[in-house]
A = this chain, B = another copy of it.
């Protein structure tokens, strides 16, 4: 079984490979040649002070390559106010102040575990690649200016991903902390041919923008409805970044998956009326706020999915004047199967990673 690190994966996994692998996987899924188990979350109090423990899992299988991927997150979560917004943060509570996210790959030919690696690089690459794949169908062909909101992990994958599908000449980067956006811009300028520049406000980032990528961890609106102009393409990594008013202004909306929220299994947090379907709210807002809120069926859930775009069942951009949007509303295991298989293939051809005995994870008994 191959063990890989985020650093190794980052060194060889290209955005083009990811986009290609995802496009093929969505088509296979549509043809009944792939399966996907939607995400489930276990949510319970953590013994770590003031934290909530959440265990997420999802899995998917492909015919070609014959692989199953399981993605697991074992998170301690807290909430904090930051600049008037509620920010959900994962607490790096594992040894060395680290997080725990894993991808495991299995062969459907032999059953054996093939590889195991942290999910960080694959996680951001698959989100950005899905956004870029959608942009290929939804952004104007001549889109040349990209606005990036945020300077974190997802911003760093979305910027090159958008440059991979459109001939981007200029990137305006805004995030609230000046030092963060400047460091980010320096790093990104090495990676893409476009001019990448930091700007002092979100409004300034919007100037001349053809594509807006909101890649923050905000749980409240960051994309103003005013920015929805003719010809614009919007994308986001969390639905709340846009908010209902912004979403309603868009002419053509495509979402990632018709599964809205994970299926939740919840224990604890008192008997004061937190229902099991509120678990997503516990994760978003914390136990106290979850008690006072209702989960509603979002209006945008009837929109076509990314796989409809890829197979041509849903129309992409119809003309230069439409406003379009791709809502990365929830992740699916299929993305990890597609990108995970690409990681394994590249790692094998490059001799990357290190093997541990597969035999540790096999058994002679018929269970």
Please report A residues at the B interface, Cβ cutoff 8 Å: 3, 5-6, 32-37, 40, 42-48, 53, 55, 57, 59-61, 63, 66, 68, 70, 72-76, 89-90, 92-102, 104, 106-113, 116, 118-121, 123-124, 152-153, 217, 265-268, 271, 356, 358-367
Instruction: Write the chain B residue with the least CB distance to A90.
Output: B366
Q: Is the CB of B268 within 8 A of A32?
A: yes
Q: Is the CB of A111 within 8 A of B61?
A: no
- Also in contact, A35 and B44, with CB within 8 A (given A100-B361, A153-B365): yes
A sample of 15 cross-chain residue pairs with beta-carbon separation below 8 angstroms, ordered by A number, consists of: A6-B365, A33-B268, A37-B265, A57-B59, A74-B106, A74-B111, A95-B110, A95-B358, A99-B365, A101-B363, A118-B362, A119-B367, A120-B363, A153-B366, A153-B367
Q: Is the CB of A265 within 8 A of B108?
A: no
Q: A99-B362, A123-B367 are known contacts; what are 5 more A-B pairs with Cβ within 8 Å?
A: A68-B74, A70-B72, A74-B111, A92-B366, A153-B367
Q: Is the CB of A109 within 8 A of B46?
A: yes
Q: Is the CB of A363 within 8 A of B95?
A: no
Distance between Cα atoms of A97 and B363 in the complex (Å)? 9
Q: Is the CB of B118 within 8 A of A94?
A: no
Residues of chain B within 8 A (CB-CB) of A70 are 55, 57, 72
Distance (Å) between the CB of A214 and the closest chain B CB? 17
Residues of chain B within 8 A (CB-CB) of A48 are 109-110
Residues of chain B within 8 A (CB-CB) of A366 are 89-90, 92, 99, 152-153, 217
- Most B CB atoms within 10 A — which of A153, A265, A361? A361
Distance between Cα atoms of A268 and B111 in the complex (Å)? 18
A367 partner, pick from B73, B116, B265, B266, beta carbons under 8 A: B73
A98 partner, pick from B46, B104, B266, B362, beta carbons under 8 A: B362
Distance between Cα atoms of A104 and B111 in the complex (Å)? 17
Q: Is the CB of B267 within 8 A of A35?
A: yes
Residues of chain B within 8 A (CB-CB) of A63 are 44-45, 47, 267-268
Distance between Cα atoms of A106 and B44 in the complex (Å)? 13
Distance between Cα atoms of A104 and B217 in the complex (Å)? 29
Q: Is the CB of A44 within 8 A of B108?
A: yes
Distance (Å) between the CB of A128 and the closest chain B CB? 13
Residues of chain B within 8 A (CB-CB) of A37 are 40, 42, 57, 265
